[in-house]
Amino acid sequence: MALTREAACRYESESAEDTMRFGELTADAFDEGDVVVLTGGLGVGKTHLTKGIARGLGDDRPVTSPTFALMAVHDKGRIPLFHFDLYRLEHAFELEDTGIYDVLGYEGVCVLEWGEQFQDELTDEYLSITISRDGRGPELRSIVLEPYGGRAERLAEAIDSIIAARA
């Protein structure tokens, strides 16, 4: 595994497998009610990260981006994973139809792809994970954690400790 820790809460991934491994390692830190907002352009690895989280929670079923379904539930692990893809939504009122308000901050961990566009409507307490391409190579990715709120700060610290110890 080539996943490296550049600084506290900043990591480098050299492949899709590294990005999945990052997600798998971080799963130990998640608890019911945690909210993760995944930010990054098309094809940077948001769904690969989510695949890793699902696997780390103990759910080995296939994970795909719920672009058209908007939500996928992966509930065969330690806690449920609610995976939302908000890419196709244009207005905040459309969130009502996704089922997000039924689970956000209450059950399992909610992972929101493209959630940054509706952040004001969702929650003040979340961990932002930004994945971006690194100009040094086609597969290199930068993964940056930015916590919002006390629980998210503790979550980022726990993830940083896990990655520092196991990567």
Cα 99 versus chain centre, distance = 18
Q: What percent of the chain has pLDDT over 70?
A: 92
pLDDT, residue 69, reads 65
pLDDT, residue 1, reads 44
Conformational region of residue 96, where left means phi above 0, alpha means psi within -120 to 50, and beta covers everything else:
alpha
For 95-141, what is each residue's pLDDT tens digit?
A: 888 878 888 877 899 999 888 888 778 888 999 999 998 777 778 89
CA gap 19, 25 in Å, rounded: 10
Cut 0.85: pTM above it: yes
CATH class entry, domain 4-166: alpha beta
For the chain, give every domain's residue range: 4-166
Is the distance from CB of 13 to CB of 140 less than 8 angstroms?
Answer: yes
